[in-house]
Amino acid sequence: MSAAEGPLVVGVDTSTQSTKALVVDAATGEVVASGQAPHTVSSGAGRESDPRQWWDALREALHQCGDAAREAAAVSIGGQQHGLVTLDERGEPVRPALLWNDVRSAPQARRLTEELGGAKFWAERTGSVPAASFTVTKWAWLAEHEPEALRATKAVRLPHDYLTERLTGEGTTDRGDVSGTGWWASGTETYDEEILAHVGLDPALLPRVVRPGEVAGTVRDSHDLPFAKGTLVAPGTGDNAAAALGLGLRPGTPVLSLGTSGTVYAVAKRRPTDPTGTVAGFADAHGDWLPLACTLNCTLAVDRIAALLGLDREAVEPTTELTLLPYLDGERTPNLPNASGLLHGLRHDTTAGQLLQAAYDGAVHSLLGALDLVLDEDADRSAPLLLIGGGARGTAWQQTVRRLSGRPVQVPEAKELVALGAAAQAAGLLTGEDPAAVARRWNTTRGPVLDAVERDDRTLTRIAGVLSDAAPLLERSTDAH
């Protein structure tokens, strides 16, 4: 480990699949140590995890960081959004957490939208129209299916809140993560009493919303992590807001995140309110907004198609007539939570490589379809797309995004941007800087820029046509559930 030029900070990413921890030099952004430990996610009807394993994974990831973690002056935890963590009077989980990609609450999402003034009401009040991923719909599902768990619940938290509270002993959250619950009013930046009353959730069960730049607390005595008592703890935030911090985003710069799910977002000065529900009007972690559109099916869906075909994920071949809508887990954008995948144009001479390319095309089409709605009229629509996430370094992903967007693509060299953004937030506590400015000082977007190529309008038009023709079938599959 090289000698640090400044104090050390820890940034954590507790994601759906694992917890990652980075020890970072606050002066230079150099990662001096890192660790990672996996989580278990149920594979039944829903997607659930025991929150206690997140703590165990955090402990293991920090253990892998060695002595560097013990020297940290501040820590921040970024995490998967929307998950519903229910705790009893002792702070123990009442049941496994319902994760963001658990779509069983799709009926509750539709019902809540209808019962409280429709999509326009929700968009104007909370910034977003409820989807099955949102926490408020999971609470409504729990009330309907497990009322005994509801009665036992004495505190409601998001995944990153759970870990932060175990560090500090105080129930806190931040504006970035709480804006994805569906019970936080984005116009007033307070919990929405009307919505909470409607779903039967006592606001006393919710955490205090910590403001950007405010200290959430300090590390308390009773823990088994390497931090010293009194170490500063930052508010933390949701994974997309943390990644935006990690990139040091300025308003209008578009991001495509290619992970298990795919997201497109950009920092905005104006509060977003999209009544179609395509764009979620999230807050960011430092006072602005983060309009975002999310697809459930991204790298995981494409890798599944590759596995079914017995192909390496890069073994694509050009295709001109084949269309694959890879809705293997339902879909969020478009909002078809119970839809399944759809293949159109299969022929005797279709190759496996063409089928795999069609899966890439279908996934990227969904993301680009939302990008124009995410960007406001002031955005530079010729600027490079920042490509991040697990798929960003894949040649097939890069080439498909370039071909279907017609825009240059920049691939930052920095890895683990959620944990880096959390580290920048922790560093901001020590220096008094905006965490995004910290990340810009660390030059986290440094990386190659791939030139624009001519946009493949033919493929875009073909996929849009198949999607339009298949809409009645996809809607029926949704209604059937």
Q: Which residues are catalytic?
A: 239
Greatest extent of the chain over all pairs of C-alpha atoms, in Å? 67
Rg (CA), the chain: 22
Cα(45)–Cα(47) distance, integer angstroms:
7
Which one, of 193, 154, 161, lies nearest residue 176 by Cα? 161
Cα(176)–Cα(286) distance, integer angstroms:
8
Cα(198)–Cα(137) distance, integer angstroms:
12
User: Which residues lie below 8 Å from residue 75, measured CB to CB, with a gap of 6+?
Assistant: 9, 10, 11, 12, 167, 219, 227, 231, 232, 233, 234, 426
Provide the token pair at 473: 């079938």
With tokens 């030029």, the residue in question is 5
Count CA atoms within 13 Å of residue 388 on its CB side.
29
Helix, strand, coil content of the chain in percent (nearest 5): 35, 20, 45
User: Which residues lie below 8 Å from residue 18, measured CB to CB, with a gap of 6+?
Assistant: 36, 37, 38, 39, 57
Which residues, listed in sequence order, are joined to residue 172 by a DSSP beta bridge? 208
- CB count, 10 Å around CB of 447? 19
For residues 264 and 292, the answer to whether their CB atoms sit within 8 Å is: yes
